[in-house]
Amino acid sequence: MSRLHRRATRIDSQLLREVANIEPDATQRDEMAGPSYLHPIPFVRWLFWKRLDIVVRCLMGRPGPHASGLDFGCGLGVMLPTLSAISRRVYATDLVIAPARRLAETLHLDNVEFVEPRDDDRHVARESLDYVISTDVLEHVDDLGEVVARFQSWLKPGGHLIVSGPTENAIYKAGRVLAGFGGKGGYHHTDIHRIHGHITRPGSGFVVVEQQVLPIRHLVEAFHIYSYRKLD
């Protein structure tokens, strides 16, 4: 991977606002993390972009260029410019894909293909992906076992699954309040610890390659980022 791609490509704030405002539901915009990438507090913006920088570094652990990958729960599409630059084809899916589609069209990301939820098996072939990323998404799903099984099916042997998620601990919850998101919780089904336990359960077919913690391991742990490899 080129040194140019050692971190996630930053997106112009005006463009990000424009694509976020395509979605009229403020709660849905929150789940896409739009307010976090545009937050007036610099630390909040840094924290959310830093998560994506770590995802990029995890992807660097595999030799490139990648033939194909999937952004599962692509949100506003903030990772798509980076994934487009390092992959021949990128699949992207989310419950609401209009904002990310607009971003990809504006930035001419011609190798990004959008897939409607539950239609992904028709587009993504078995054992065809080099990687799957899912950033702060799996805590929202109530069918975690089914979703992880689909990841396992789509990934090539040796392919990587990269997941980030909130710890839901007291520090994380206090941080949400300080950042202005205090009244918007209660919609997570689980946390990153249970997600990690599920992905690494016996017989899952995944092993841990790397773990990162933000912002400070053992002291202030708000997010964990894991990289897993599918067993051959």
Is-contact 204 228, C-beta < 8 A? no
pLDDT number for residue 142: 83
Predicted pLDDT at 176: 63
Residue 65's contacts (CB-CB under 8 Å, 6 or more residues apart) are: 1, 86, 87, 88
Average pLDDT, consecutive stretches of 10 residues, N- to C-terminus, the chain (232 residues): 69 92 73 78 91 92 78 95 95 94 97 89 92 94 91 96 87 65 61 93 94 91 95 91
Task: Check the CA dihedral 116-121-126-132 and report its sign.
Answer: positive
Write the CATH number for 20: 3.40.50.150
> What is residue 131's predicted lDDT score, i.e. its pLDDT?
97
Domain count, the chain: 1
Q: Locate 30 and state its tokens.
A: 């929150």
What own/partner pairs with CB < 8 Å and gap ≥ 24 does 145-148 have?
Answer: 145/198, 147/72, 148/198, 148/199, 148/204
- What was the pLDDT predicted at 91? 97
pLDDT for the residue numbered 62 = 63
The CA distance from 215 to 219, in Å, is 9
Question: How high is the pLDDT of residue 2?
Answer: 47
For residue 119, how many other CB atoms are within 10 A of its CB? 10
Instruction: Determine phi and psi for 38, rounding to 5 degrees.
Output: -115, 15
- Domain of 138 in residue numbering reads as 3-230
